[in-house]
Amino acid sequence: MPLLTDWLLRHSVVMCLLLHSLVLLTFCFHHAATTCSNRCYCSESETGGKTVRCSNLQLTEIPLDIPNDTQRIYLDFNLLTSVPTNAFGGLSNLIELDISHNELTQLEPGAFRGLGPSLQFLDLSSNKLVNFNPEAFDGLRAYANLTNNPWHCDCNLQMAMPRVDLEPVSLTGIVCQTSDPEEIGVEGHSFLLKPDIDLCVVMKKTTDVAMLVVMFGWFTMVISYLVYYVRANQEDARRHLEYLKSLPNRQGRSEESSTISTVV
């Protein structure tokens, strides 16, 4: 009996060691296969440019482990809601970035910082972008696909457009779904292709009206204060005169005339 247990014990130790090394080995191999990025599929072209494919993975955040020599990233058909500042910092070889078909509602200022010199194509189509934030595109000269977003066209958008360096034709992708003012008739059209529309005119008018109202308010206040001041002084003068009249006559006369002259 003790012999059997001894045998079992020795062999189980060996088995255990074997199993252990097997597990370690698989871990090592697994790691080697995914040095590129944890969840995405990576490939390399003959010229050495890496492509990282993270399409359709239900991602809610941009992966942080994208290698810095990547040239193309496909993040389309995910659940991304925003692109934070410096989200692709360090990827100075990036040529193409596809974030289409996501839930993007906002692009933080500097979202594509560092991609300026290399990026040629940025796909932001089929998202939920409403307001155009020029600071997000700081330094980018790429062609951007901005179509299929519920763009809101207003004076801010109009003023933002000259501030971006994107390939100009990109901006024709901004088709207004809503607008302010609503009645101006830009909805359903590409804002850039309607050069005769000025969304800032109405705002200028409203600020003019506001200025007028404020000035009128000030004016009324000043006038009422003046009127009040004059009235109060008149009252004072009248009371003072009455007081002087009530004084013994002779002394009063001379003083009365002098006060009247000062009041007048």
Ligand X SMILES: *[C@@H]1O[C@H](CO)[C@@H](O)[C@H](O)[C@H]1NC(C)=O
Token pair for residue 203?
């705002």
Q: How many residues does the chain have?
A: 264
Which residue, among 53, 48, 55, has the nearest Cα to 69 in the 3D structure?
48
For ligand X, the closer CB: 26 or 68: 68
Which residue shows structure tokens 């009247």?
Answer: 260
The region of 16-24, 144-152, 213-221, 249-257 touching ligand X under the rule CB under 6 A is: 144-152
Residue 86 binds ligand X, judged by CB under 6 A: no
3-class DSSP state of 107: strand
In the complex, the smallest distance separating the C-beta of residue 102 from ligand X, rounded to whole angstroms, is 11
Residue 68 binds ligand X, judged by CB under 6 A: yes
Chain position whose Cβ is nearest to ligand X: 125
Binder of ligand X out of 125, 127, 170, 179 (CB under 6 A): 125
Residue 85 binds ligand X, judged by CB under 6 A: no
Burial of 113-122, coded b for 16+ CB within 10 Å and e otherwise, reads bbbeeebebb
For ligand X, the closer CB: 78 or 100: 100
In the complex, the smallest distance separating the C-beta of residue 68 from ligand X, rounded to whole angstroms, is 4
The region of 57-65, 141-149, 199-207, 245-253 touching ligand X under the rule CB under 6 A is: 141-149
Residue 147 binds ligand X, judged by CB under 6 A: yes
CA angle 104, 106, 109 (to 5 degrees): 135
For ligand X, the closer CB: 192 or 197: 192
Binder of ligand X out of 78, 102, 145, 170 (CB under 6 A): 145
Which residue, among 112, 101, 87, has the nearest Cα to 58 in the 3D structure?
101
Burial of 86-101, coded b for 16+ CB within 10 Å and e otherwise, reads ebbeebebbbbbbbbb
Q: Which residues bind ligand X (CB under 6 A)?
A: 68-69, 92-93, 100, 125-126, 145, 147-148
